[in-house]
Amino acid sequence: MPRTKINKPKGSKYHKLFLEVDGKYKIVFKAISKYEVNRKRAEIQAQSIDTNALVAKRTFVNLYREFAEYKLAVGENENIGGKVHSMKQYMSMCNKHIVPNFDQNILVNEINEQVAIDFFTKLRGKGVSWITCENVVMTFKTALKYAKRKTYISSIGPMEDFKCKDTPELIAVDPSEMKNKETPMITMEQAKRLITYFDPSKKAKSNTRDEMNFCIVCLFLFTGMRMSEVRGLKWKAIDFINGFITVELTMVGTTKGYGKKDGSRRTYPIHPILLEILTRWKALHTRHFTPHKISWVFPSLMKTEEYIVPVCDRTIRDMLNIAYDALGFAKIKYVAEKGRAAKKRVVVINSIFGTAPTKTFRHFAATCLWDAQNSNEALTDNFVCNYLGHRDAKFSKGLYGNHKNLRSGSEHRAKIDQALRNAIPLTVGVSK
């Protein structure tokens, strides 16, 4: 039976019904009358009881279809919330892979590691990519957790600890199988042009936003940090004395969290040139935001927000796409916001870097490091994986090792700072 609760916040005239969704209580119904709210709760509980009567006969295919429909409803329900695109993926997996290929007679309580392996192998035999097979099979656990919440099963059993990458039968032979789509990557020459475009010293008159944008772009290029990691970066995470940066906190939209993978949380040395740029931005940041004490490295410059939130991801994307347009890397247009004719938004018509303007930097930094590895013993597999926030060198090389070399080797140096200088030598256009 689903867990629910009713609450009437102080000062509110509404009684609210909360439903537990993925371990958190979400508002699903509200009314002035407590009677109406209790009636809604009874409907939800009765529906659950009716469903429980069919548990003994429930197949996994039927469960997964119900689960996919539920996830889609969650995404489209404005009271519960959720990313509709992500929720639609569950329905797509159901219709494209589960229903046509999974044994229709297997019951929910019969799902185990061997069933998952057999299904994975069947999909691979039909030419489905390794990464797609992994995504589909790993949703088994999510569907079983849903079944447990609905009391269809008492536990998810042996699937609790199941991981495709830890299963010998399912390890990809070719690393390239682990990612079948190549992300366009910025070249060294294009990167230097971008640096020059943003460099405040090259402008007749620069402002705080110019300085911040320059630092953001340099951070992307020199580290390959993810958008969420750059937005979630705080000053306490940067050790200016020893030259280290700790990546832990993330910001996705307005949601603050931590890296979802263990490998995403890491500490690594800062490129010497980047350290100089961050030091300069720190001094400007302190002067600009006085008397406010702002913990975010890149706070919003909107005065209405009183400098207390990090810069918006859309602001970063628009900033980059405008630069790409000016440099001939993309074509954009400005479209009036719906209901706000005075406010324009940036729309990308086409771009050599695809639809994600920051991912090209991650591929750039990764490829620089992997290319330089053969000529510098300091750039070990562990060092590069930690730098990028990856756990597996095989995966990392399969994902990022598909680009042409950016430069032909570098001098063999023992020190990490020199290794990084050689790997990512963006000295042209960077003012010290």
Q: pLDDT for 78-128, tens place per residue?
A: 444 445 556 678 888 888 999 999 998 888 888 888 888 899 888 888 888
Would you state the pLDDT for residue 345? 82
Would you state the pLDDT for residue 281? 92
Would you state the pLDDT for residue 263? 59
Would you state the pLDDT for residue 342? 61
Distance of CA 128 to the CA centre of its chain: 24
Q: pLDDT for 151-205, tens place per residue?
A: 777 778 778 888 777 777 776 555 445 444 556 788 888 988 999 899 888 888 8
Mean pLDDT of 276-297: 82
For domain 183-432, give its CATH number from 1.10.3210.10, 3.40.50.2300, 2.160.10.10, 1.10.443.10: 1.10.443.10
Q: pLDDT for 398-419, tens place per residue?
A: 666 554 444 433 333 334 666 6
pLDDT higher for 219 or 68?
219
Q: How confident is the model at residue 236 (pLDDT cuts 50, 70, 90)?
A: very high
Residues 131 and 111: their CA atoms lie apart, in Å, by 21
Nearest Cα neighbor of 72 from 63, 85, 59 is 85
Domain range list for the chain: 1-53, 57-171, 183-432
Looking at mean pLDDT, say which of 156-160, 214-218, 352-356, 420-424 comes out highest. 214-218
Mean pLDDT of 2-21: 79
What percent of the chain clears pLDDT 90, i.e. is strictly above it? Answer: 13
Q: How confident is the model at residue 212 (pLDDT cuts 50, 70, 90)?
A: very high
Would you state the pLDDT for residue 219? 93
**205 φ, ψ to 5°?**
-150, 125
Mean pLDDT of 264-269: 84
Would you state the pLDDT for residue 89? 80
Confidence check: pLDDT of 253 > 60: yes
Overall pTM surpassing 0.75 (yes/no): no
Mean pLDDT of 332-337: 83
Confidence check: pLDDT of 229 > 50: yes
- Look up the CATH architecture of domain 57-171: Orthogonal Bundle (1.10)
Would you state the pLDDT for residue 168? 72
Mean pLDDT of 283-312: 74
Quote the tokens at residue 159: 């699937």
Mean pLDDT of 4-14: 82
Q: pLDDT for 339-372, tens place per residue?
A: 655 667 888 888 888 878 888 888 888 888 887 7
Distance of CA 99 to the CA centre of its chain: 29
How much is the mean pLDDT over the chain? 77
